Chain A
Amino acid sequence: MIKKFDKKDEESGSGSNPFQHLEKSAVLQEARIFNETPINPRRCLHILTKIIYLLNQGEHFGTTEATEAFFAMTRLFQSNDQTLRRMCYLTIKEMANISEDVIIVTSSLTKDMTGKEDVYRGPAIRALCRITDTTMLQAIERYMKQAIVDKVPSVSSSALVSSLHMVKMSYDVVKRWVNEAQEAASSDNIMVQYHALGLLYHLRKNDRLAVTKMLNKFTKSGLKSPFAYCMLIRIASKLLDETEGGHDSPLFDFIESCLRNKNEMVVYEAASAIVHMPNCTARELAPAVSVLQLFCSSPKAALRYAAVRTLNKVAMKHPSAVTACNLDLENLITDSNRSIATLAITTLLKTGSESSVDRLMKQISSFVSEISDEFKVVVVQAISALCQKYPRKHSVMMNFLSNMLRDDGGFDYKRAIVDCIISIIEENPESKETGLAHLCEFIEDCEHTVLATKILHLLGKEGPRTPQPSKYIRFIFNRVVLESEAVRAAAVSALAKFGAQNDDLLPSVLVLMQRCMMDSDDEVRDRATFYMNVLQQKQKALNAAYIFNGLSVSIPGLEKSLHQYTLDPSEKPFDMKSVPLATTPITEQKTEIAPIATSKLPEKLAPSRQDIYQEQLAAIPEFQGLGPLFKSSDPVQLTEAETEYVVRCIKHTFARHMVFQFDCTNTLNDQLLQKVLVQMEPSESYEVIHYIPAPSLPYSQPGSCYTLVRLPDDDPTAVSCTFSCTMKYLVRDCDPNTGEPDDDGYDDEYVLEDLEVTVADHIQKVLKPNFGAAWEEVGDENEKEETFALASVRTLDEAVGNIISFLGMQPCERSDKVPENKNSHVLFLAGVFRGGHDVLVRARLALADGVTMQVTVRSSEETVVDVILASVG
Chain B
Amino acid sequence: IEEPSLYTVKAVLILDNDGDRLYAKYYDDTYPTVKEQKAFEKNIFNKTHRTDSEIALLEGLTVVYKSNIDLFFYVIGSSHENELMLMAVLNCLFDSLSQMLRKNVERRALLENMEGLFLAVDEIVDGGVILESDPQQVVHRVALRGDDVPLTEQTVTQVLQSAKEQIKWSLLR
Q: Which A residues have a C-beta under 8 Å from some C-beta of B?
A: 1-5, 10, 14-19, 45, 48-49, 52-53, 56-58, 82-83, 86-87, 89-90, 93, 119, 122-123, 126, 153-154, 157-158, 161-162, 164-165, 191, 194-195, 198-199, 201-202, 205, 227, 230-231, 234-235, 237-238, 241, 264-265, 268-269, 272, 276, 300-303, 305-306, 336-339, 372, 374-375, 596-600
User: Which 8 A-B pairs rank lowest in CB-CB distance, beginning with the nearest?
Assistant: A1-B146, A58-B34, A234-B4, A198-B6, A301-B54, A337-B53, A265-B84, A306-B83
A337-B57 contact, Cβ under 8 Å, with A19-B111, A56-B25, A165-B127: no
Residues from chain B with a CB closer than 8 A to the CB of A56 are 21, 23-25, 118
| CB nearest neighbor in A for B125 | A161
Chain B interface: which size bin? 35 or more
State whether A4 touches B82 (Cβ < 8 A). no
10 A–B pairs (Cβ distance < 8 Å), ordered by A: A1-B101, A2-B158, A3-B149, A154-B137, A162-B126, A238-B2, A306-B84, A339-B53, A339-B57, A374-B59
Contact of B82 among A48, A86, A205, A268 (CB under 8 A): A268
State whether A194 touches B6 (Cβ < 8 A). yes
Contact of A82 among B6, B79, B137, B145 (CB under 8 A): B145
Q: Kindly state the separation between the CA atoms of A305 and B56 in the bound complex, as whole angstroms.
A: 9
State whether B84 touches A600 (Cβ < 8 A). no
11 further A-B contacts with Cβ under 8 Å, apart from A83-B119, A165-B129, A337-B51, are A17-B111, A49-B114, A119-B143, A191-B131, A199-B6, A202-B5, A202-B6, A265-B85, A374-B57, A596-B57, A597-B79
State whether B126 touches A158 (Cβ < 8 A). yes
| CB nearest neighbor in B for A191 | B132
A336-B126 contact, Cβ under 8 Å, with A265-B82, A597-B60: no
Q: Which of B10-42 contact A (CB under 8 A)?
A: 21, 23-25, 34, 37-38
Q: Kindly state the separation between the CA atoms of A122 and B143 in the bound complex, as whole angstroms.
A: 13
State whether B118 touches A52 (Cβ < 8 A). yes
Residues from chain B with a CB closer than 8 A to the CB of A83 are 115, 119, 143-145
Residues from chain B with a CB closer than 8 A to the CB of A153 are 137
State whether B57 touches A375 (Cβ < 8 A). yes
Q: Which of B60-112 contact A (CB under 8 A)?
A: 60, 64, 78-80, 82-88, 100-102, 107-109, 111-112
Residues from chain B with a CB closer than 8 A to the CB of A596 are 57, 60, 79
Q: Kindly state the separation between the CA atoms of A461 and B131 in the bound complex, as whole angstroms.
A: 57
Q: Is B172 among interface residues, defined by CB-CB distance under 8 A?
A: no
Q: Is the interface of A mostly helix, strand, loop or mixed?
A: helix
Q: Kindly state the separation between the CA atoms of A164 and B5 in the bound complex, as whole angstroms.
A: 10
| CB nearest neighbor in A for B138 | A154
| CB nearest neighbor in A for B59 | A600
State whether B149 touches A1 (Cβ < 8 A). yes
Tell me the minimal C-beta distance from B122 to chain A in angstroms: 6
Q: What total count of A-B pairs have CB within 8 Å?
A: 198
State whether A191 touches B3 (Cβ < 8 A). no
Interface centre among B4, B83, B115, B158 (most CB of A within 10 A): B4
Residues from chain A with a CB closer than 8 A to the CB of B34 are 58
A301-B55 contact, Cβ under 8 Å, with A1-B146, A58-B38, A264-B84: yes
| CB nearest neighbor in B for A201 | B4
Contact of A49 among B37, B52, B115 (CB under 8 A): B115
A235-B4 contact, Cβ under 8 Å, with A2-B158, A3-B158: yes
Q: Kindly state the separation between the CA atoms of A339 and B64 in the bound complex, as whole angstroms.
A: 12
Contact of A90 among B1, B87, B119 (CB under 8 A): B119
Q: Kindly state the separation between the CA atoms of A161 and B128 in the bound complex, as whole angstroms.
A: 10
State whether B83 touches A161 (Cβ < 8 A). no
Residues from chain A with a CB closer than 8 A to the CB of B132 are 154, 157, 191
State whether A238 touches B3 (Cβ < 8 A). yes
Q: Kindly state the separation between the CA atoms of A16 and B2 in the bound complex, as whole angstroms.
A: 45
Residues from chain A with a CB closer than 8 A to the CB of B24 are 56, 58
Contact of B56 among A86, A165, A336, A339 (CB under 8 A): A339
State whether B141 touches A302 (Cβ < 8 A). no
State whether B85 touches A227 (Cβ < 8 A). yes
State whether B2 touches A234 (Cβ < 8 A). yes
State whether B126 touches A2 (Cβ < 8 A). no
Q: Kindly state the separation between the CA atoms of A509 and B149 in the bound complex, as whole angstroms.
A: 87
State whether B51 touches A1 (Cβ < 8 A). no
Q: Which of B133-173 contact A (CB under 8 A)?
A: 133, 137, 141-147, 149, 153-155, 158, 161-162
Residues from chain B with a CB closer than 8 A to the CB of A89 are 122
State whether A90 touches B118 (Cβ < 8 A). yes
State whether A164 touches B129 (Cβ < 8 A). yes
State whether A336 touches B127 (Cβ < 8 A). no
Tell me the minimal C-beta distance from B163 to chain A in angstroms: 11
Residues from chain A with a CB closer than 8 A to the CB of B23 are 56
Tell me the minimal C-beta distance from B85 to chain A in angstroms: 6
Q: Kindly state the separation between the CA atoms of A52 and B119 in the bound complex, as whole angstroms.
A: 11
| CB nearest neighbor in A for B141 | A154
Q: Kindly state the separation between the CA atoms of A145 and B1 in the bound complex, as whole angstroms.
A: 33
Contact of A10 among B83, B85, B155 (CB under 8 A): B155
Tell me the minimal C-beta distance from B102 to chain A in angstroms: 7
Residues from chain B with a CB closer than 8 A to the CB of A19 are 111, 114
A598-B60 contact, Cβ under 8 Å, with A3-B154, A123-B122, A198-B129: yes
State whether B108 touches A14 (Cβ < 8 A). yes
Residues from chain B with a CB closer than 8 A to the CB of A272 are 82
State whether A305 touches B55 (Cβ < 8 A). yes
Q: Kindly state the separation between the CA atoms of A158 and B87 in the bound complex, as whole angstroms.
A: 22
State whether B88 touches A265 (Cβ < 8 A). yes
Q: Kindly state the separation between the CA atoms of A49 and B85 in the bound complex, as whole angstroms.
A: 29
Q: Kindly state the separation between the CA atoms of A426 and B140 in the bound complex, as whole angstroms.
A: 63
Residues from chain B with a CB closer than 8 A to the CB of A123 are 122-123
Tell me the minimal C-beta distance from B51 to chain A in angstroms: 7
| CB nearest neighbor in B for A303 | B84
Interface centre among A90, A158, A302, A339 (most CB of B within 10 A): A302
Q: Kindly state the separation between the CA atoms of A286 and B38 in the bound complex, as whole angstroms.
A: 44
Residues from chain A with a CB closer than 8 A to the CB of B53 are 301, 336-339
Tell me the minimal C-beta distance from A576 to chain B in angstroms: 42
Residues from chain A with a CB closer than 8 A to the CB of B109 are 2
Tell me the minimal C-beta distance from A809 to chain B in angstroms: 33
Residues from chain B with a CB closer than 8 A to the CB of A264 are 84
Tell me the minimal C-beta distance from B140 to chain A in angstroms: 9
Residues from chain B with a CB closer than 8 A to the CB of A238 are 1-4
